Amino acid sequence: MLASNDALEARLRHVETKPALDLDAVDAAIQRIRRPDVVREQIGDALLYAQRVEAEVGGLSIETLLPHSTDDYVGRFLTVWVPDEQGHGEAQARLARSLGLQPYEPRPEDAVPLHNRAAGFLARLLPRVKGMIEMTYHTIGAINERLALEAYRRMAAILEHSGEHEMAKVLMVPMRNDEAAHLSYYRTYARQLRPTLAAWQLAIVRALIVHTYAPVGAGERPDKAPLGRALLQLESDPDNPGIATSVQSIAEELLADGAALRPFVHQSLRKCVALARAPAAA
What percentage of the chain reaches a pLDDT higher than 70?
87
Task: Give the residue ranges of DSSP H helices in 58-172.
Answer: 62-65, 73-98, 114-125, 127-161, 165-167
pLDDT at 84: 96
38, 166, 250 from 155: Cα distances, Å: 13, 13, 21
56 band by pLDDT with thresholds 50, 70 and 90: confident
Between residues 60 and 48, the one the model is more confident about: 48
Distance CA 64, CA 277 (A): 37
Distance CA 198, CA 188 (A): 18
Q: What is the pTM of this model?
A: 0.91
Q: Are 114 and 61 in contact (CB under 8 A)?
A: no
pLDDT at 113: 57
Q: Within 10 Å of residue 102's Cβ, how many Cβ atoms?
A: 9
Using one digit for the tens of pLDDT, what is the confidence trace for 84-112? Answer: 999 999 999 999 999 999 999 877 655 55
Q: Enumerate the domain spans of the chain.
A: 6-101+114-281
Q: Are 44 and 101 in contact (CB under 8 A)?
A: yes
Answer yes or no: is pLDDT of 119 > 60. no
Average pLDDT over residues 204-216: 95
Distance CA 89, CA 47 (A): 10
Answer yes or no: is pLDDT of 281 > 70. no
Using one digit for the tens of pLDDT, what is the confidence trace for 195-205? Answer: 999 999 999 99
pLDDT at 70: 74
Which of 103-112, 171-180, 256-265 has the least mean pLDDT? 103-112
Distance CA 57, CA 103 (A): 15
